[in-house]
Amino acid sequence: MYEPGEDSQLMVDAVRKVNAKGEKALDMGTGTGIVARELAERFEEVWAVDVNPEVLRGTLEWPGNVNVLVSDLFENVKTNLKFDLITFNPPYLPEPYEEDRELNCGDGEVLEKFLAGAGGRLTENGKVLLLLSSLTPELGLEGWRKRGVVGLKLDFEELFVLELTRRGP
């Protein structure tokens, strides 16, 4: 399991900075649930989604308005659910990390698959908060408007959170 670090706190800071509030939010790749817990204070309903059932079981106790779901990205998320906010702190190590396959994104396939699914899961004014690294492979963000929310320089990389909204037709 990935322990929360600077990147997880940076996402929490981004949620606070954009003053995210609303009816429904989804925290993709929730891990320990630090971001989902922040969302639970701001949204009526929250979905904490992770591909690893052990991670979800291992989290001590979830707030009452948090729905926990095992899913590979949007695979098990009902298609009729629309969210005001979707957060994702994806695995972003660019090279294979043999100890834990879930901690690397390789060639960016996970991010592209996420973005392909996220657009159809947002409400009309819904947003995505996406944490990226300067080590992340180049992403095609066609169809999305983006703006930087927060960033953090570390010794070997820079982390930043983008706010993405869908472009109009």
Q: What is the pLDDT of residues 114-162, one digit of tens each?
A: 999 999 999 999 999 999 998 887 777 888 999 999 999 998 889 999 9
Q: Are 65 and 44 in contact (CB under 8 A)?
A: yes
Rounded to two decimals, the pTM is 0.89
pLDDT recorded at residue 151? 95
pLDDT recorded at residue 83? 98
DSSP for residue 82: -
pLDDT recorded at residue 103? 45
Q: pLDDT tier at 37 (50, 70, 90 boundaries)?
A: very high
Pair of tokens at residue 75: 């695979």
- Those residues whose C-beta lies under 8 Å from the C-beta of residue 118, and which sit 6 or more positions away, are 74, 86, 88, 128, 164
DSSP for residue 63: -
Question: What one-letter code names the amino acid at 91?
Answer: P
153-156 contacts, C-beta under 8 A, 24 or more apart: 154/6
- 6-166 adopts what CATH topology? Rossmann fold (3.40.50)
Higher pLDDT, 100 or 46: 46
First to last CA, the chain: 40
Strand segments (E) across 51-115? 66-70, 83-88
Is residue 17 predicted with pLDDT exceeding 80?
Answer: yes
Could you give the CA distance from residue 123 to residue 115 in angstroms, rounded to a whole number?
Answer: 15
Is residue 93 predicted with pLDDT exceeding 80?
Answer: no
124 by Cβ neighbours in 10 Å (0-12 / 13-18 / 19+) ranks as exposed
